């Protein structure tokens, strides 16, 4: 094995290890203590982890083994499983990321504009229906790859597992439909939702800043009025406002209500969660938009280099995304349980 091929194989192996650790970690940390406590965000994270683990175990691992072996050695039967699993996991992962973006956008808007409360995707039945539909679409689009594959190469030591459609027009038609419905449309949806999240966050930031400025002006005005009135303005025998004892209810006058505290904490959680979703969407955009363009390029010119780069991009997405959720959304969700 040449040095360049060895480096590529090592990179693929490291990506496989990172993906397995990250996605297993995300799945285990998303499991609720009791089945009755299962919520939408946990279902979506578990589904995303399962989708990515299909890529890790059934695509990245055999691909890494083939890289080290210098040739595809798993036969034509597993070649079909390999190609089927690749598109199955990619499609499911894309749709799950789309659903996660919608869910956290709803939670963010509900928290900042409506003071919290349930959103549509809090319904587990609706989420189960959406995920079942996405897996059905993924299976339908992946089935042709199970049958129309072959192992080819210039000699017996450089075999490779590739898609092979007997009819070129049929293969191109399939690719166009698949890339449009299972890649381009969800990608456009994730970008649109991410833009809406950013706009909502900016509007909230301006609103908070304006509120803080208004409070600061009121405090300054109050301080000036107190200085003008002086100490003599305070009636004898009554404590001043600075030393006033708690009210009849036994609570200080300025103490915020528990509902206000919980609402503010929930808003902070949703804001930070939404920022994590935007970070995921940014990585998603870079990986899958490039992946989509390379798939189109390889479909037109049949470039093996484009196919290889697209494969690396898909693998990089599955090994990076779980860590973003673990450090942002999922970490904060765990804090909510306690």
Q: What is the CATH number of the domain that holds 293?
A: 1.20.1070.10
Q: What residues contact residue 22 under an 8 Å CB cut-off, 6+ apart?
A: 319, 320, 321, 322, 323, 326
For residue 228, tell me if it sits in a domain: no
Residue 1 pLDDT level (bands cut at 50, 70, 90): low
What average pLDDT score do residues 192-197 get?
85
pLDDT at 236: 52
Top-confidence range, 19-33, 196-210, 225-239: 19-33
Q: What are the structure tokens assigned to 183, written together? A: 């890649």
Q: Give residue-wise pLDDT tens across range 229-282.
A: 665 555 555 555 444 444 444 444 444 444 444 445 445 655 666 666 677 777
For residue 254, tell me if it sits in a domain: no
Q: What residues contact residue 18 under an 8 Å CB cut-off, 6+ apart?
A: 319, 320
Q: What residues contact residue 327 under an 8 Å CB cut-off, 6+ apart?
A: 276
Residue 318 pLDDT level (bands cut at 50, 70, 90): confident
Domain ranges, residue 22: 3-219+261-337
pLDDT at 297: 66
For residue 190, tell me if it sits in a domain: yes
DSSP code at position 248: T
Residue 302: pLDDT over 60: no
What average pLDDT score do residues 37-44 get?
88
89 against 283, higher pLDDT: 89
Whole-number Å distance between alpha carbons of 269 and 331? 10
Residues in a beta bridge with 152: 160
For residue 208, tell me if it sits in a domain: yes
Q: How many domains does the chain have?
A: 1
pLDDT at 204: 72
For residue 280, tell me if it sits in a domain: yes
Mean pLDDT of the chain: 76
pLDDT at 36: 75
What average pLDDT score do residues 122-127 get?
92
For residue 195, tell me if it sits in a domain: yes
For residue 241, tell me if it sits in a domain: no
60 against 118, higher pLDDT: 60
What average pLDDT score do residues 110-125 get?
77
For residue 131, tell me if it sits in a domain: yes
Q: Give residue-wise pLDDT tens across range 280-299.
A: 777 767 776 776 676 666 66
Residue 326: pLDDT over 90: no
Q: Give residue-wise pLDDT tens across range 130-178.
A: 999 999 999 999 998 888 888 887 555 578 888 888 888 888 888 888 8
């Amino acid at each position: 094995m040449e040095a360049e091929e060895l480096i590529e194989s090592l990179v693929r192996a490291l990506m496989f290890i990172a993906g397995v650790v990250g996605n297993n970690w995300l799945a285990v940390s998303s499991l609720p203590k009791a089945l009755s406590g299962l919520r939408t965000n946990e279902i979506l994270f578990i589904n995303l982890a399962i989708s990515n683990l299909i890529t890790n175990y059934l695509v990245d691992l055999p691909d890494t083994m083939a890289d080290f072996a210098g040739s595809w050695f798993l036969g034509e039967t597993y070649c079909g499983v390999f190609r089927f699993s690749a598109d199955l996991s990619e499609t499911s992962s894309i749709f799950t990321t789309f659903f996660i973006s919608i869910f956290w956008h709803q939670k963010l808007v509900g928290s900042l504009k409506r003071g919290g409360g349930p959103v549509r995707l809090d319904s587990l039945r609706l989420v189960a229906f959406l995920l079942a539909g996405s897996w059905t679409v993924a299976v339908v689009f992946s089935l042709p790859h199970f049958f129309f594959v072959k192992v080819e190469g210039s000699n017996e030591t450089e075999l490779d597992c590739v898609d092979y459609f007997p009819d070129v027009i049929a293969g191109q038609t399939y690719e166009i439909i698949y890339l449009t419905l299972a890649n381009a449309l969800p990608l456009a949806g994730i970008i649109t939702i991410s833009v809406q999240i950013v706009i909502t966050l900016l509007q909230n930031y301006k609103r908070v800043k304006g509120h803080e400025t208004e409070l600061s002006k009121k405090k300054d005005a109050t301080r000036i009025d107190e200085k003008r009135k002086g100490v003599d303005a305070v009636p004898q025998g009554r404590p001043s406002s600075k030393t006033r004892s708690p009210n009849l209810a036994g609570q200080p006058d300025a103490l915020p209500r528990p509902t206000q505290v919980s609402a503010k904490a929930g808003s902070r959680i949703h804001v930070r969660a939404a920022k994590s979703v935007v970070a995921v969407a940014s990585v998603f955009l870079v990986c899958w938009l490039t992946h989509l363009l390379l798939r189109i390029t390889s479909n037109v010119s049949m470039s093996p280099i484009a196919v290889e780069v697209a494969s690396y991009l898909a693998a990089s997405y599955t090994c990076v995304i779980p860590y973003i959720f673990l450090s942002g959304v999922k970490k904060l969700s765990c804090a909510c349980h306690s």
